[in-house]
Amino acid sequence: MVDTLGVAVVGFGWMGRVHTQAYARLPHHYPQLPLRPELVTVAEEVPGRAEQAAEQFGFASATRDWREVAGDPCVRAVSITAPNFLHREIGVAMAEAGKHIWIEKPVGLTADDARAVADAVAKAGVQGAVGFNYRNAPAVETARELIASGELGTVTHARIRLFSDYAAHPEGALTWRYERERGGSGVLGDLASHGADLARFLLGDIASLTADTAIFVPERARPTGATAGHSRATGGELGPVENEDYVSALLRFASGARGVLEACRVSVGEQNTYGFEVHGTKGAVFWDFRRMNELGISRGTAYQDQPVSTVYVGPGHGEFAAFQPGAANAMGYDDLKVIEAYRFLRSIAEGTPHGATLSDAVHSAVVLDAMARSAKSGAWVTVDARG
C-alpha cells in the first residue's frame, strides 16, 4: 500500500528545482518506498517565479508567502531551499506546524540558528533532513567503509578541498550571498560546511582547529532586479563584500589524525573541484567529485612504492544499484539529491532518521563558528564535540 505525502518547496532558485526533480524521480528509482510525494505548493517571493514553477513542474498551487505553506493541512513535508538568513525562521515555523523538513545546508547563519531548527524538529517529533549531498555518493560511502574497517591502517592525515569559480568574475552581482547579515560567513557556509560534514562523516569528530580567511574581491555591483544563481551585474552601485571568499583550516581530530580543509569561491580555473585524500599507516583513499564514481585506493603491505588502483563503484556500493546496472555507468549530481529525498521519505515512513540530520547540521555549524573565531583571533580553537 502506497501512501501519498503532500510536499511543498519553499524558495525556488536552482536548489528548489533540484529538490522538486528529486521528488518526481523517487518512484522511478525507489518503487518500494511506501510514500509517494505529491507536489502541493511552491512558495517563492520573486513575482511570477512560483507560478512558473507550478506550471512547469506540476505543483497544485503557488504562493509568494511561505507562511501559507505552514498553515496548509495538505502539506506534510517541506523542502526549505530559501536563502540562508531565512532558514531559522522558516525551519522553526514548519516544524512547529508539524511538517517534516528537508532543509539545505548550512541551516542558518550560525550554530545557534542550526540548533534552533534542530530543537524545533525534536520538540515537534518530526523528521529533519539536511542537504549534505556529497556524503551520499556511493564512492564516498565506500571510502568511509574502507576507513572504518581498518584497511588503510590508522588514519594519519587527510586533506579536504572545495574550490570553485562561481564568484571569481569581478562582475558577479552583490547578492545576499555576499552580505554578512543575510549570507553569513560566505564560503564557510556555502562550501566549507560540506567539508566539515565530510570530515566528520569519514573521520569522526574534530577536536580543535586553527583557520585563516580572506576576501579577494572586495567590491561588487548591486543588482538592479531579481537574481537567480550567480548572476552578473554591471554599471550598478558598488558595495562591499562583507564575508569570506576563502578559508583554510588545520584540523586535529579526536582520533589523533591531522587534517587540512580548504575552500574558495573565487578560484579561477576551478569548477566544482571538490574531493578528499585520506592517508593511513597502510594505505590511502582518494576521491574527486568531478569523477564521482571512482575511487583511488592504495592498500597492502608494501608501504613504500605501493601502487594506487582505480576502483569504479557499482551496484554493491551505497545506493548505486537504484540508478545504474553496472560499474562505470556514471551517476551525477542530481542523483545524490534523489538519494537524499529517498532517505528523507524513508525517515518519515519508518519514524527513524536516515541520512544527514539536523544534528549533523549543528556539528558542521559548530566547526564553522570555530573557524570564524580562530580566523579572528589567530589561535587554535577547541571544537565542542557535543555540537
The residues pairing with 286 across neighbouring beta strands, listed in sequence order, are 277, 296
Ranges of each domain in the chain: 3-133, 134-331+357-382
Mean pLDDT over 143-158 rounds to 98
**What is residue 213's three-state secondary structure?**
strand
pLDDT of residue 151 exceeding 90, the answer is yes
Q: Do 246 and 266 meet the contact criterion of CB atoms below 8 Å apart?
A: yes
Using one digit for the tens of pLDDT, what is the confidence trace for 104-139?
Answer: 999 999 999 999 999 999 999 999 999 999 999 999
| Fold that domain 3-133 belongs to in CATH | Rossmann fold (3.40.50)
Q: Please give the mean pLDDT across all residues of the chain.
A: 95
Band of pLDDT at residue 2, cut at 50, 70 and 90: confident
Cell numbers describing residue 148: 572504518
Band of pLDDT at residue 232, cut at 50, 70 and 90: low
Mean pLDDT over 88-97 rounds to 98
- Alpha-carbon distance of 319 to 211, in angstroms, equals 35
344 contacts: CB under 8 Å, gap ≥ 6: 77, 100, 102, 127, 129, 354, 355
CA distances, 165 to each of 263, 269, 342, 382 (Å): 11, 7, 31, 31
pLDDT of residue 330 exceeding 70, the answer is yes
pLDDT of residue 225 exceeding 60, the answer is no
Residue-level pLDDT at 1: 65
- Alpha-carbon distance of 188 to 111, in angstroms, equals 12
Band of pLDDT at residue 237, cut at 50, 70 and 90: confident
- Alpha-carbon distance of 49 to 53, in angstroms, equals 6
Band of pLDDT at residue 223, cut at 50, 70 and 90: confident
Cell numbers describing residue 369: 563558528
Residue with cell 534552533: 116
Q: What percent of the chain has pLDDT over 90?
A: 92
166-175, 327-336, 370-379 — which is least confidently predicted? 166-175
pLDDT of residue 189 exceeding 80, the answer is yes
Q: Do 160 and 258 meet the contact criterion of CB atoms below 8 Å apart?
A: no
284 contacts: CB under 8 Å, gap ≥ 6: 152, 277, 278, 296, 297, 298, 308
Dihedral (CA of 167, 170, 173, 177) sign: positive
Give residue 370's Cα distance to chain centre.
19
Using one digit for the tens of pLDDT, what is the confidence trace for 262-288?
Answer: 999 999 999 999 999 999 999 999 999
Residue-level pLDDT at 387: 79
Q: Do 164 and 267 meet the contact criterion of CB atoms below 8 Å apart?
A: yes
- Alpha-carbon distance of 281 to 342, in angstroms, equals 36
pLDDT of residue 142 exceeding 70, the answer is yes
Band of pLDDT at residue 165, cut at 50, 70 and 90: very high
Phi then psi dihedrals of residue 287, to 5 deg: -140, 135
Mean pLDDT over 349-373 rounds to 98
Is 9 buried (19+), middle (13-18) or exposed (0-12) by CB count in 10 A?
A: buried
Band of pLDDT at residue 233, cut at 50, 70 and 90: low
Which of 13, 10, 48 has the alpha carbon at shortest distance from 228?
13
Amino acid at 215: I
CA geometry: angle at 247 spanning 241 and 249, to 5°? 155
Length of the chain: 387
- Alpha-carbon distance of 311 to 319, in angstroms, equals 16
Run of H or E residues at 60: none
For the domain 134-331+357-382, what is the CATH superfamily, name and number?
Answer: Dihydrodipicolinate Reductase; domain 2 (3.30.360.10)
Using one digit for the tens of pLDDT, what is the confidence trace for 31-84?
Answer: 999 999 999 999 999 999 999 999 999 999 999 999 999 999 999 999 999 999
